[in-house]
Amino acid sequence: MSDLSHAPAPSRLQKVMDSTMMYSFRRNPVAVASLAVFLVIAVLSFLAPLIAPYDPYDPASIDLMNSEYPPAWVNGALPEFVLGTDDQGRDLLSTILYGTRLSIIIGLCAVALQAFLGITIGLVAGYVGGRTDSLLMRMADIQLSFSTLMVAIIFLAVTQALFGSETFNRYAVFFLIAVIGVAEWPQYARTVRATVLAEKKKEYIDSARVLGFGPLRIMIRHILPNSLSPIFVISTVQVANAIISEASLSFLGLGMPPSQPSLGSLISAGFDYIYSGSWWITVIPGIVLVVLVLVINLLGDWVRDVLNPKLYKG
């Protein structure tokens, strides 16, 4: 044993590459392909300001005369617009890149907010127990009995009426993050509470209590690190859900304004022209959205299988 301890310690990268998780990842072609597709979409969209041929946010670069050109492989296309243009004459490729970036940002931030609220509430409910637990979990039940979209539609419609369209459009990103974040916290809270209840009974928690650590320290330093795997699993699924929610709200006209298009508002804008033959304005962002959500969900499936092997192989 002492021989082992003197052997050179493997580097951090080496450790990660040798871990069970990486092994299972390399053995799973679906996971590898999903991650590759997700990374391509994410990197391209985050590099949008550098690689997009046009800036869709800049009204000076938009010419209304260019509107509704089809993609390059269809007759009557202009070569400078690879994926065609939308109803306002914006280059569809650039708009999709910017829109995807916006959708991913909203998805991640909304999930971060959900996770923060849900983990805090779940930890407190599970660890403190008793009346606090009942109260918080009944709140979660009430929240869950309304559908996310219903809450979001009411909230966004009211704020839009309250602040006026102009102010609303300026802060639409924050409103969307807030409403999607707040509407879905019970998912996290319930999962976290369940794992906390299981961890709380283990002896290392008793040991921490005998050593005189406070509840906050026990929750954050001892219970939370041991509850991370279910949190990872739901996080991936929740990102996909949040992107879908954002797209749905934008499609309904309650999300991003036409001047700052996200994937949802692009699909929505193109919907008006689908009968006049301009299918690409709706279909191409739609395909991007479907692929993005699909690969995130496939990754989520893989994470769940790895972190929770009892689920399917039991």
Determine the size of the site formed for other proteins (CB under 8 A): 21
Would you tell me how many other CB atoms lie within 10 Å of the CB of residue 87?
17
b vs e for 188-201, b when ≥16 Cβ sit within 10 Å of the residue's Cβ? Answer: bbbbbbebbeebbe
Supply the minimum distance, in Å, between the C-beta of residue 142 and other proteins. 20
Q: What is the total residue count of the chain?
A: 314
Q: Which is nearer to other proteins, 101 or 193 (CB)?
A: 193
**7, 60, 65, 211: which one contacts other proteins (CB under 8 A)?**
211
Q: How far is the CB of 284 from other proteins (least distance, A)?
A: 45
Region label for 277, one of left (φ > 0), alpha (ψ between -120 and 50) or beta (otherwise) = left
Closest to other proteins by CB, 52 vs 223, is 223
Q: DSSP state, 18?
A: H
Minimum CB separation from other proteins for residue 250, in Å? Answer: 40
Position among 57, 155, 213, 232 found at the interface with other proteins (CB under 8 A) = 213
Q: Which of 65, 145, 203, 276 binds other proteins (CB under 8 A)?
A: 203
Contact 257, 269 (CB under 8 A): no
State how far the Cα of 74 lies from the Cα of 304, in Å rounded to an integer. Answer: 42
Scanning 65-73, 162-170, 215-223, 258-266 for contacts with other proteins by CB under 8 A, the matching segment is 215-223
154 φψ region: left (φ > 0), alpha (ψ -120 to 50), beta (else):
alpha
Binding-residue pattern over the window 1 to 40 for other proteins, x denoting contact by CB under 8 A:
xx--xx----------------------------------
Measured distance CA(300)–CA(180) in Å, rounded: 19
Q: For other proteins, which stretch binds (CB under 8 A), given 117-125, 168-176, 220-228, 275-283? A: 220-228
Contact 10, 278 (CB under 8 A): no
Q: Which of 79, 214, 277, 314 binds other proteins (CB under 8 A)?
A: 214
Q: In this chain, which of 26, 138, 170, 209 binds other proteins, going by CB under 8 A?
A: 209
Q: Decide if 293 contacts 244 (C-beta within 8 A).
A: yes
* Site residues for other proteins per CB under 8 A: 1-2, 5-6, 202-204, 206-214, 217, 221-222, 225-226
